[in-house]
Structure 1
Amino acid sequence: MTGSNVRPPPARDNGCPTGDSAGPCREDRPLSTVPHQQLPAVQKLRVRFAKRGRLRFTSHRDFQRAFERALRRADVPMAWSQGFTPHPRVSYAGAAPTGAASEAEYLELAVTRVCDPEQVRAALDAALPPGLDVVEVVEAGPGALADRLQASSWAIELPGAVPGQAAAAVTTFLAAASVPVERLTKNGVRQLDPRAAVLRLTADTDADPVTLRAVVRHQSPTVRPDEVLAGLRLVAGFTPPQPPRTVRLAQGEWDDDTGVLGDPLADAPGRDT
């Protein structure tokens, strides 16, 4: 073969043989395209994180992207799924609605090396933006994480609401046998009953602003805080004069006998209680 027929080697840009800096070899490529070995998972970690401030408007899908970037930046030795499109083994549980803040979001991840949970917490927290805050990481206990998340505790602040009206609306709501409200879904209008899901509801009229405190059972379809407010409007004509501010305070197992919402990480191995 003569020199004139020798083709030059392909251009390389940022380590990518195609020369395409926007291709799968770029530094910010998604985790599902990062070369990896299919190592077995040797440990599962459960993560509690918070959505605060402006980051409460982060959608669940946007959080997933941010969290997968944080896993890479924190150098967490992730286990990967099998198949043609492997992805990091992360299980998300019951995300709060977009626009609601939360102090108690949970996920579980599988890793290929035994890790110190506190070191993982610190590394992930540093890799995520302020407002997406990793509160706690523990080694997974027995059973499935989702089975431990049976109900949520919510605080719904009602700026400008009249305390007596809010309290009366709660009394009327709790006295109702059912409160059918409608939700618009991609498949059309769906009817659900927030009254059946509400385990406890009170109006804290001493708080400023007036705050509803609700414990809502997880069911299918999931009843959201705005649907509890829709129920108050339906049965009592109560409408907050200003947009409410909603925070999920806790998730856990509900005890019907004691009326207590348990901590889903309480029996984690080695956890300080």
Structure 2
Amino acid sequence: MARQRTPEGPPPAPAVQKLRIRYAKRGRLRFSSTRDFSRALERALRRADVPMAFSAGFHPHPLISYANAAPTGTASEAEYFEIRVTERVEPEAVRAALDEALPEGLDVLEVVQAGPGALADRLEASEWHIVVRAADPAEVTAAVDAYLACEVAETTRTFKTGPRTFDTRSAVLALDASGVDDEGCAILRMVVRHTTPSVRPDDILTALHAVTGFAPPVPPLVTRLAQGPLLDAAAGVADPLAADKEAVGSG
């Protein structure tokens, strides 16, 4: 029987602290994928001299976990990931160093020491802001009203396992045409519950077209404003890092 190989060298240093980080994708960087961001982040962590903890084994990798990333092509003010470090650090110092090391448009907004509980469990819903360009705001409002009157509004998206048809309406907790911007473009606000499969803004717009016949003349500008614990349809979502801040404050 062949002997099992073991990694050479000392075991990796243990993690002593976990940090939760909120960042934004803005401007042209909204087109960056999760893989693009992962590569940029690992380079930024090295440049910022963050004392990262690594996995064991023949191919150690930094202990980073990502949570519910926004689809490629959408901007976001509320993306999250976690890192583990081998030395205790000051969260604000890490925030400033990482923000400096990442490209402009990938902006680190907040770093907190993680408290008890899983971050992913707190991300129950997202609030979205959508600018519908080159469309009559009255037509947008009428389409939204027709969509909300439906009990079921299905769409089909292709997954790794193939095409899948699913309902979008049950995930939409709020959808309203909240006005127009300075250029006269209609603005939509959505509060969407996180489900499996996830219901994305483009899924909702595709279902809206199927139900009402309305389709944006040009691709809309989509921004995730927040994601976190669900409050209610009117209030949207709460800060998922609030419990971590309270834990540090009371410690």
**TM-score after normalising by structure 1:** 0.83
Distance 1:141 1:216 in 2: 26
Distance 2:51 2:197 in 1: 35
Distance 1:83 1:41 in 2: 16
Distance 1:79 1:221 in 2: 32
Residue aligning to 2:173: 199
Residue aligning to 2:202: 226
| Counterparts in 2 of 1:51 and 1:258: CA distance versus 1, 3 Å | closer
Distance 1:248 1:181 in 2: 21
After superposition, the C-alpha distances for 1:153-187 in whole angstroms (9 at most, x for unaligned) are 11111011111111111111111111111112333
Pair 1:67 & 2:33 matched: no
Pair 1:97 & 2:71 matched: yes
The amino acid that maps onto 1:146 is A
Give secondary structure in 1 for the equivalent of 2:242.
coil
Give secondary structure in 1 for the equivalent of 2:222.
strand
1:192 is displaced (CA, Å) by: 1.3
The amino acid that maps onto 2:97 is A
| From 225, 230, 241, the counterpart of 2:217 | 241
- Number of equivalent positions: 237
Distance 2:15 2:207 in 1: 45
Residue aligning to 2:188: 212
Distance 2:46 2:194 in 1: 32
Distance 2:148 2:86 in 1: 49
Distance 2:14 2:38 in 1: 22
Unaligned runs of 5+ in 1: 1-34
Residue aligning to 1:126: 100
Distance 2:53 2:139 in 1: 53
Is the 8 Å Cα contact of residues 194 and 228 (structure 1) preserved in structure 2? Answer: yes
**Higher Rg of the two aligned structures:** 1
Is the 8 Å Cα contact of residues 135 and 217 (structure 2) preserved in structure 1? Answer: yes
Distance 2:177 2:232 in 1: 21
| Counterparts in 2 of 1:225 and 1:149: CA distance versus 1, 3 Å | same
Distance 2:233 2:32 in 1: 36
Relative contact order: is structure 1 or structure 2 higher (C-alpha 8 Å, sep ≥ 6)?
2
The amino acid that maps onto 2:115 is G
Pair 1:144 & 2:118 matched: yes
Is the 8 Å Cα contact of residues 31 and 74 (structure 2) preserved in structure 1? Answer: yes
| Counterparts in 2 of 1:36 and 1:248: CA distance versus 1, 3 Å | farther
Distance 2:162 2:15 in 1: 41
Q: Which moved more, 1:134-143 or 1:36-45?
A: 36-45
Please tell me the root mean square deviation across aligned C-alpha atoms, in Å: 1.6
